[in-house]
Chain A
Amino acid sequence: MASKSATFAPLSPVTDFWRIASLWIRASMAYPASFWMLAVSSFLMTGLDFAGIWIIFNSVDELGGFSLPEIGFLYGATGLGIAFADLLVGRVERLGQMIRMGRLDTMMTKPVPLLVQVCADEFALRRLARVLQSGAVFAWASAYVDWTPARAATAVVMVVCGSIIFFGLFISLACIQFWTADSSEAANAFTYGGNTLTQYPMTVFPSEVVKALTFLLPIAFVNWYPALYILGRDDPFGLPSALQHAAPVAAALTTVVTVVVWRTGVRHYRSTGS
């Protein structure tokens, strides 16, 4: 039995995640043609998205008072945030399916944290293409920014906090499926909807929307407030400039809410019963 105790050595969740993820990477490489087509299509998806904005700028000089490089900066920042989160959460949006198939029960019997297993399930390396694409737009737009050390630090904090906020949104919205497995698509309105919305300057939207995305759902912190500081702009809605440095607070609050929601969901969970 001595040899067996080595298998149960306390592994950190990160190693666990990576172990499961590398299995899935090997599995996806079994169909190389499909893998590369998926990688290219992920790159294209976000790429064509930005091509759309570029096309709009053939007809206008500025949108909501912002230039194309400035919108590229917003686009790249929110894109990096959701891309990192998407890479880590995997197919958490299919939680309902895992419950139906009884896979969640199997996971609960294994000595790895449940959330790590759910997130690492069907890990897809091709999602990295999205990080690369958003990174490319971000790098291009960054060339137009008047950088200072404080602004550079804010940019790093912005991307990290943006990833955490989107990660929290993905997880907590997926938890709705502990109660109703059928309506997973509604979560897209907040996650991908939030991503689409933050690709444009908030000046395009009514101020009520902006306030809701500041105080109710912290989506405006993934790029808008830090970007206002980095781009050296005054808040067009006259909101306090302290908000421009409040992204870590928003990320921390999101994390707390996510932990509570996830724990409540798991505690509520009763197996499908069959």
Chain B
Amino acid sequence: MRGALGLYLAIARSSFRRYSTYVGATLAGIFTNSVFGIIMCFVYMAVWEANPDAGGYDVTDAVTFVWLGQALLMTVAIWGGGTPDDLAARIKSGDVAIDFYRPVGLLGWYLAGDLGRALYHLLTRGVAPTVIGALLFDLRYPASPWTWLWFFAAIPIAVTVSFSLRMLASISAFWLLDDTGPRNLMGFIAMFFCGLTVPLVLFPGALRDIAMALPWAGFIQIPADIWLGQRSGWAVAGGLALMVGWAVVLLAVCVATLRLAERRVVVQGG
């Protein structure tokens, strides 16, 4: 048991180091995140000036939401990316056959790698734009240490949910060979339903309730509501439980589809 944990930690650590070699890309990404954050802050400031308590947020909540969104964008890999992209490339090339006969489960291997990547992105592309946002705008910070704890507890769960969805898109390459279609479609749906286009609290009526129950709500909206104190007490537990529930369900779907896919793999030559 301890051996397995050590193995996954080693995978995560290597993945962290792999991403940390692209310093130029990281700096460029931080710059881009910050520019988009600044643009959206001005837009939201105009929105909340016209309607000071739209969606139950005040203008400080809205501006803070923008920067939390920019911080989680890469960490949770909302657009896609991370280790599931590697898997898709290996399915196309046939290298995936090697993954199947490794003494480590394929899903665990890639999940550990993606969590390592997420930690790197949180520490760089999560923290740096938030610092820039904090210098330029008036942000809201959690008062209680518990809130900080719940917020940071939510992030690995969000990464796991996102990982399972990205993984499903990549696994589709076993049947479609080219996974760019499902991957992009998944990315765009995620962008909208995570609250990055518009915070989910602004969604009208039933659409809001539906969006709040979908897996993407856990990407930004639920962690942000914990941070902003919009969710407290049992609502925090409810939000985290929803995220854990989606993580379990989606990982189970991944396992089932991988089992089906395994039968489709044809190893050439020999």
Q: A interface vs B, CB < 8 Å?
A: 31, 33-38, 40-42, 44-45, 48-49, 51-52, 55-56, 58-64, 180, 182-186, 188-189, 193, 196-197, 200, 203-206, 209
B202 at interface (Cβ–Cβ under 8 A)?
yes
- Give the dominant DSSP class at A's interface: helix
Specify which of A37, A40, A55, A61 is in contact with B50 (CB 8 Å cutoff).
A61
Closest to B197 in A: A52
**22 A–B pairs (Cβ distance < 8 Å), ordered by A:** A31-B181, A34-B177, A34-B180, A40-B185, A44-B185, A45-B184, A45-B188, A45-B191, A48-B188, A49-B197, A55-B202, A56-B47, A58-B204, A59-B47, A63-B47, A185-B29, A186-B27, A186-B31, A189-B36, A196-B36, A200-B43, A206-B42
Shortest Cβ distance from residue B186 to the other chain A in the assembled complex, whole angstroms: 8
Question: In B23-43, which residues have CB < 8 Å from any A CB?
Answer: 23-25, 27-29, 31-32, 35-36, 39-40, 42-43
Shortest Cβ distance from residue B80 to the other chain A in the assembled complex, whole angstroms: 11
Judging by beta carbons under 8 Å apart, are A183 and B39 in contact? no
Judging by beta carbons under 8 Å apart, are B50 and A183 in contact? no
Judging by beta carbons under 8 Å apart, are B181 and A189 in contact? no
Closest to A49 in B: B197
B104 at interface (Cβ–Cβ under 8 A)?
no
6 tightest A-B contacts by CB?
A: A37-B181, A182-B24, A34-B181, A183-B28, A52-B197, A186-B28
Q: How many residue pairs between the two chains, A and B, have CB atoms under 8 Å in the bound complex?
A: 116
Judging by beta carbons under 8 Å apart, are B46 and A63 in contact? yes
Q: A44-B185, A184-B28 are in contact. List 17 more A-B contacts (CB 8 A).
A: A31-B181, A33-B181, A34-B177, A44-B189, A45-B184, A52-B198, A63-B50, A64-B46, A183-B28, A185-B25, A185-B28, A189-B32, A193-B36, A196-B39, A203-B46, A204-B45, A205-B42
Interface string of B55-89 (1 = CB under 8 A from A): 10000000000000000000000000000000000
Judging by beta carbons under 8 Å apart, are A182 and B28 in contact? yes
Docked pose: A209 CA to B204 CA in angstroms: 32
- Chain A residue numbers with a CB within 8 Å of B146 are none
Specify which of B28, B31, B203 is in contact with A55 (CB 8 Å cutoff).
B203
Shortest Cβ distance from residue A28 to the other chain B in the assembled complex, whole angstroms: 9
Judging by beta carbons under 8 Å apart, are A59 and B202 in contact? yes
- Give the dominant DSSP class at B's interface: helix
Shortest Cβ distance from residue A188 to the other chain B in the assembled complex, whole angstroms: 5
B176 at interface (Cβ–Cβ under 8 A)?
yes
B192 at interface (Cβ–Cβ under 8 A)?
yes
Q: B interface vs A, CB < 8 Å?
A: 22-25, 27-29, 31-32, 35-36, 39-40, 42-43, 45-47, 50-51, 54-55, 176-182, 184-185, 187-189, 191-192, 197-198, 202-204
Judging by beta carbons under 8 Å apart, are A182 and B185 in contact? no
Shortest Cβ distance from residue B253 to the other chain A in the assembled complex, whole angstroms: 19
Judging by beta carbons under 8 Å apart, are B36 and A204 in contact? no
Judging by beta carbons under 8 Å apart, are A55 and B184 in contact? no
- Chain B residue numbers with a CB within 8 Å of A184 are 25, 28
The answer to whether residues A38 and B180 also contact, given A44-B188, A56-B202, A188-B32 and a CB cut-off of 8 A, is yes
Judging by beta carbons under 8 Å apart, are A38 and B28 in contact? no
Judging by beta carbons under 8 Å apart, are B46 and A34 in contact? no
Shortest Cβ distance from residue A237 to the other chain B in the assembled complex, whole angstroms: 15
Judging by beta carbons under 8 Å apart, are B32 and A38 in contact? no
- Chain A residue numbers with a CB within 8 Å of B203 are 55
Judging by beta carbons under 8 Å apart, are B185 and A37 in contact? yes
- Chain B residue numbers with a CB within 8 Å of A37 are 181-182, 184-185
Docked pose: A82 CA to B28 CA in angstroms: 21
Specify which of A41, A48, A58, A61 is in contact with B181 (CB 8 Å cutoff).
A41
- Chain B residue numbers with a CB within 8 Å of A59 are 47, 50-51, 54-55, 202
Judging by beta carbons under 8 Å apart, are A193 and B35 in contact? yes
Docked pose: A184 CA to B22 CA in angstroms: 12
- Chain A residue numbers with a CB within 8 Å of B25 are 182-185
The answer to whether residues A189 and B31 also contact, given A44-B185, A48-B197, A205-B42 and a CB cut-off of 8 A, is yes
Judging by beta carbons under 8 Å apart, are B28 and A34 in contact? no
Docked pose: A62 CA to B46 CA in angstroms: 9
Judging by beta carbons under 8 Å apart, are A204 and B198 in contact? no
Judging by beta carbons under 8 Å apart, are B28 and A62 in contact? no
Judging by beta carbons under 8 Å apart, are A31 and B177 in contact? yes
